[in-house]
Structure 1
């Protein structure tokens, strides 16, 4: 007997793409195999609202349903992201930014790292005012209402209608509510103005969260009009149900919330396909991802194949910490999708060997493909030739289009391409189910290596619309809590309840809500502080949602909605996260005159990249420091570097750097604390500095010598060298302490927090005591300070320094930039080794994929280990290479990487089992550097996560560390608790080649 359809329970899903608009009507009361009452696929119309209306109308007729049976309409759209990618000034509004940052972030203004044309279109005004929190929730300063009112008057004068409020550590601000209070003032002073709170858009990461909030604010007016037009079209069909918009993480937003947070819809298309695929296979007797088994979804369109990883909780795996859109770096949640140029319209060429793509006929498939009467051979033609039962076009038209041996090659090549990309997405060698969806899935084989089964479900061509129809509600709590009085487990229980309650408030029914994702991240150098990220999800409670339409404004909608181009426009190239200057790397020469290197923007970008790689996983990202120094260069500042050999013996070489948690440094951007610490130190130091040097070349501190020495700061040349040759977790792990010629070296010392607090220590009993006292003060100064160390003589510097490390960072960064420019990331690890002295000075230790990460907090330091599975990490379109690395290694770390150790094939060693000497590939003080195989950038230990493809390189440490028993005691295995292992060098240290020696123009005169 047919199931009687109950009123108001059907779900409609519509996905509006650049080429096609797909729709489904779904009955959730039916079994998955028979729940699709109707589906429709048509070309996207110039007016997407009209296209949505027509699609729903067509499906309603096919399914013979009435409007009162529909419980929800969910729409996925690329409309908003296209406006940003296309830099469409007609759809992007000017934005004002008010930062609640007190004395911090002044050197990195809003949109500082944006492409110039995007900044010109979007940024209308900004102001830095009082406000902001420390990592422990203490006030940097309270907001000042008068300050904000004054800025409102300026914003009104400029005619700006969208305002972003961004406060330091606002995502953890549950008590002071500074962003909310500032927004209340703005709305009172500027009635009708759109106000975006950064904490509602993204999480920790000040610049990246602000960038996302600005883009969100810029598109608000357009989003309101667009979503209102969607709602109106649905209402005109007589359907009086809520209209939802699907978002990036596989859940949905109500129409009014999507109109406030349109950025959360930017990557909804791939996510809809993944969720729809998982739902569809239930009809084939399979269970959905939420039952506990991860799955891979392969979506094959006309031009590309997109692969995503569906987690056991039923949601897509998300990208790493940062994403990039139209050259803007952000940190909002996006699905982790990898793509290759393989689709149903990919061109097939016959020669000595057969090749496929990456170019495609795309949406012209039905006009140009041979099987449809055209003259262009495509993968669809070859698939029909291999299997005429596919019933696409006219099979007789492709007879004889391929030689028999080429047909065999075609099948093998398609399989290899898909197998390679699915392997890059897996987190273990185990076979996983693979679900094929998309109109181009007919070209894929029924069996794939690495797949436990290959599923091609019915209705897969509209999986994206199905994903929209079944989407759920979710909410995330990302916060930092103290574990001094309460355990992490106790906090997780409370935060999980908070996430569940937040999900209910977002519209979910209370009985359906469950926690689906939990992550705990102890903070480096911050005692008893842990970051908790908890996500909950549930089904919509339709009894509580409203059907209100977004109110109309005085502006008309037509200009922004009705004239939208139906076909996708060409996208501008995405820029790297540093916005690298465009230079001819092969011919570029740094500006070196009279043995002084004048650092330019290209040099700075490369040095920054190299510093993070030399950080061996620690030191914090140099990115915010690079932005600050680049601003100084653009303002006319001169930055000089000199060789250690050119420094007079009686010179005074000063030093300064940051100390604290990298988590704090990405949120509380540097103010004037570096110069403040130096100024206060020299009030008690009799000898003024004549030069500056970096404390450590690894990480963010690698740029501090350059910054302090800039002509607009101390106006001193920076020595091409440092006191570590890498990064280490403590100040006493420096080469001057190794030489021990005077004790202590780092006294007197001064630290400043940038907020009016300065600590000066005139003397100390030892360098270890300096470290202990400084760390104690650090915890009460916001967990981040600038430190100024007393100068040493030029003669001492030349004995203690690790020479030419700025040059080394420059060469490493140049190698990475060249590899990206020439599309040779697959060999970037080998190139870096070559730049650092060749095979005698280092080697590639391993290439593979991170399959496990553990972290614990002890004495303020984050300890842990990273497990890497050997695999081929080369370009996934290259099907000829195979991996030379097999098995697994583990990398234990204490903020920085300690060792690379081969482990048993079965997985991690049992707890407490000691490593064997013969398993050690490299160990401190040698440098173990983990590099992202997709872009050549360093990956810091806080960024380690499942699934990242990585290369691991080992570099021989400076002989300043390895040349004495004291050096090995301070910087070797015993210093990190590996007393049972003996240091055995992986190579012979090669002194980095000086940029000054190579490029000095005076030397050739």
Structure 2
């Protein structure tokens, strides 16, 4: 019998875990300090769950992991692979080189080698320039031994992907089994943002490989190597390890997304504002029909403008480990620094010397009392600091709204225990049971999704047939990924006429999701 599932979310400060039964009832949760590697913290969290519940390892059938490793790698400019970019666009795009608006330190971290070659399409699908096989093969030979991964980006490849696929074939024949990212699978409209997203995806291959292998090692060490392992992505659904290796960039932002999904599940609310407070940040997002609202704008990741899907999240430098200092006038300064996973050694409530938001909350007697002592800090100073933090939260909640309609605010995350059950400007604040592990529960209950995002020529006589075909394609993608066919439903449908393109060009997007089959 494999009735149970485990959800694990690795954050910058803590690794949270939860075990759920076949009815998705939360049996137990665990919170341990995040370790430098994936293996240590995940193993400790799983061992804690199994020992506290007495559930046998053989009764666990599913394990899901949400991770911030890819986000951290970009933000910290660490462990990024050397990328070779092949731009199929010459000579039309030579005026704007790749990485034109990237931060210098991030551009240096990916050590990009790039080449603009013939290729690409016009906006109406006509060929802009023919591919030259010898040209592309010559570039690949120059890159041999000098790049770890390749990104291929063609002008309007989201209308016709044939050239990108052909270039991929030639590069594989020259370089052997190397990771290749094709831009039409990553981004949408907007050539440079799509190119940026493709480069980032290629650069993250090693990081995701380490995450997957570390997760597998932790499962093996806890006698769970028989379970089906899945990775959370940033739209609140799950993907296999193989898909995660191919599209590591889709895990960026999955931490807040998992918390939003968990908040919806724990509170029973499908439409709400969620405030997820961790050790370093407070992430504020919006739930719509039980799923995180996606950003409608180009998303900035580590200083790079991209156009692939991301949850609409406002992140504030406010968390349990946020460092509190004074300015020259004695007024409190909130962060942005955080002690992170060193909270239990550096915060004053644990005998350390750094004043944190946890210490401020303890002095004021607000929220959950943790630690073993009360810091000797003036209450008036603490009150001013705490009021400043509450104003930031209230402002963030107001910014995420799209209208004045009343919506409940759901508080989740371990750091939310430091805050009162009221936020200015809100009518209702909900702090559900197991709120501290909402992120782990969110990834554990994740559905399996399928998506189609394509530009097509839409004629009235075949409109319904075209829509049905694309809808079915998205549904089949979800089923192939492991969704129960009986539960797959359409979550989002977009039908956007592109008036600046000829031939009744229309962007069609279908997003579907279904419950995971435990024995898929």
Partner-residue secondary structure (3-state), 1:24:
strand
**Residues 343, 360 of structure 1: 8 Å contact kept:** no
1:146 is matched with which residue: 114, 129, 134?
134
1:243 is matched with which residue: 219, 226, 229?
229
Give the direction of change, closer, same or farther, for the CA distance of 1:462–1:484 in structure 2 (3 Å limit): same
Partner-residue secondary structure (3-state), 2:279:
coil
2:45 aligned partner: 55
2:123 aligned partner: 135
1:181 aligned partner: 166
1:899 aligned partner: none
Give the direction of change, closer, same or farther, for the CA distance of 1:329–1:410 in structure 2 (3 Å limit): closer
Q: Matches of residues 829-978 of structure 1 in structure 2 within 5 Å? A: none
**1:241 positional shift:** 1.6
2:153 aligned partner: 166
1:274 aligned partner: 260
2:6 is matched with which residue: 12, 23, 29?
12
Partner-residue secondary structure (3-state), 1:357:
strand
Give the direction of change, closer, same or farther, for the CA distance of 1:490–1:60 in structure 2 (3 Å limit): same
**1:167 positional shift:** 1.9
| Separation of aligned partners in 2, 1:529 and 1:456 | 47
**1:129 positional shift:** 3.1
**Residues 361, 368 of structure 1: 8 Å contact kept:** no
2:489 aligned partner: 514
- If asked which structure has higher relative contact order (CA below 8 Å, sep 6+), I would say 2
| Separation of aligned partners in 1, 2:137 and 2:238 | 36
2:66 is matched with which residue: 76, 90, 93?
76
Partner-residue secondary structure (3-state), 1:324:
strand
1:41 is matched with which residue: 31, 50, 54?
31
Partner-residue secondary structure (3-state), 2:158:
helix
Give the direction of change, closer, same or farther, for the CA distance of 1:432–1:388 in structure 2 (3 Å limit): closer
2:370 aligned partner: 392
User: What does the per-residue CA deviation read over 1:205-224, in whole Å, with 9 as the maximum and x for residues that have no partner?
Assistant: 22211221122212323432
1:420 aligned partner: 395
2:318 aligned partner: 342
| Separation of aligned partners in 1, 2:356 and 2:87 | 53
**Residues 99, 167 of structure 1: 8 Å contact kept:** yes
1:362 aligned partner: 339
| Separation of aligned partners in 2, 1:53 and 1:413 | 38
**Residues 436, 456 of structure 1: 8 Å contact kept:** yes
**Residues 344, 440 of structure 1: 8 Å contact kept:** yes
**Residues 201, 212 of structure 1: 8 Å contact kept:** yes
**Residues 14, 33 of structure 2: 8 Å contact kept:** yes
User: What does the per-residue CA deviation read over 1:234-291, in whole Å, with 9 as the maximum and x for residues that have no partner?
Assistant: 133332122212112211221111111111112211111111121111xxxxx242xx
Give the direction of change, closer, same or farther, for the CA distance of 1:488–1:435 in structure 2 (3 Å limit): farther
1:215 is matched with which residue: 191, 195, 200?
200
**1:350 positional shift:** 12
| Separation of aligned partners in 2, 1:279 and 1:39 | 15
Q: Matches of residues 737-886 of structure 1 in structure 2 within 5 Å? A: none
1:716 aligned partner: none
1:96 aligned partner: 84
Q: Which sections of structure 2, spanning at least 5 residues, go unmatched?
A: none
Partner-residue secondary structure (3-state), 1:252:
strand
**1:516 positional shift:** 0.9
Structure 1 position 203 matched with structure 2 position 188: yes
**1:434 positional shift:** 0.7
1:988 aligned partner: none
**1:333 positional shift:** 1.7
| Separation of aligned partners in 2, 1:70 and 1:509 | 19
**Residues 520, 533 of structure 1: 8 Å contact kept:** yes
Give the direction of change, closer, same or farther, for the CA distance of 1:74–1:400 in structure 2 (3 Å limit): closer
**Residues 158, 455 of structure 2: 8 Å contact kept:** no
1:639 aligned partner: none
TM-align CA RMSD: 3.1
**Residues 123, 501 of structure 2: 8 Å contact kept:** no
**1:154 positional shift:** 2.5
| Separation of aligned partners in 2, 1:39 and 1:28 | 16
Give the direction of change, closer, same or farther, for the CA distance of 1:295–1:490 in structure 2 (3 Å limit): farther
| Separation of aligned partners in 2, 1:389 and 1:412 | 14
**1:153 positional shift:** 2.5
Give the direction of change, closer, same or farther, for the CA distance of 1:213–1:409 in structure 2 (3 Å limit): closer
2:107 is matched with which residue: 119, 130, 148?
119
User: What does the per-residue CA deviation read over 1:801-852, in whole Å, with 9 as the maximum and x for residues that have no partner?
Assistant: xxxxxxxxxxxxxxxxxxxxxxxxxxxxxxxxxxxxxxxxxxxxxxxxxxxx
**Residues 9, 28 of structure 1: 8 Å contact kept:** yes
Q: Which moved more, 1:112-121 or 1:14-23?
A: 112-121
**1:454 positional shift:** 0.9
| Separation of aligned partners in 2, 1:519 and 1:137 | 21
Q: Matches of residues 524-563 of structure 1 in structure 2 within 5 Å? A: 524-527=499-502, 528-544=504-520
**Residues 136, 171 of structure 2: 8 Å contact kept:** yes
User: What does the per-residue CA deviation read over 1:381-432, in whole Å, with 9 as the maximum and x for residues that have no partner?
Assistant: 554455578443468x4699525xx887677655443222211111111110
| Separation of aligned partners in 2, 1:360 and 1:114 | 24
**Residues 368, 418 of structure 2: 8 Å contact kept:** no
Q: Which sections of structure 1, spanning at least 5 residues, go unmatched?
A: 1-6, 282-286, 545-1005
Give the direction of change, closer, same or farther, for the CA distance of 1:66–1:177 in structure 2 (3 Å limit): farther
User: What does the per-residue CA deviation read over 1:361-392, in whole Å, with 9 as the maximum and x for residues that have no partner?
Assistant: 63454456555556766544554455578443
Give the direction of change, closer, same or farther, for the CA distance of 1:374–1:525 in structure 2 (3 Å limit): closer
2:274 aligned partner: 297
Q: Which structure is larger by alpha-carbon Rg, 1 or 2?
A: 1
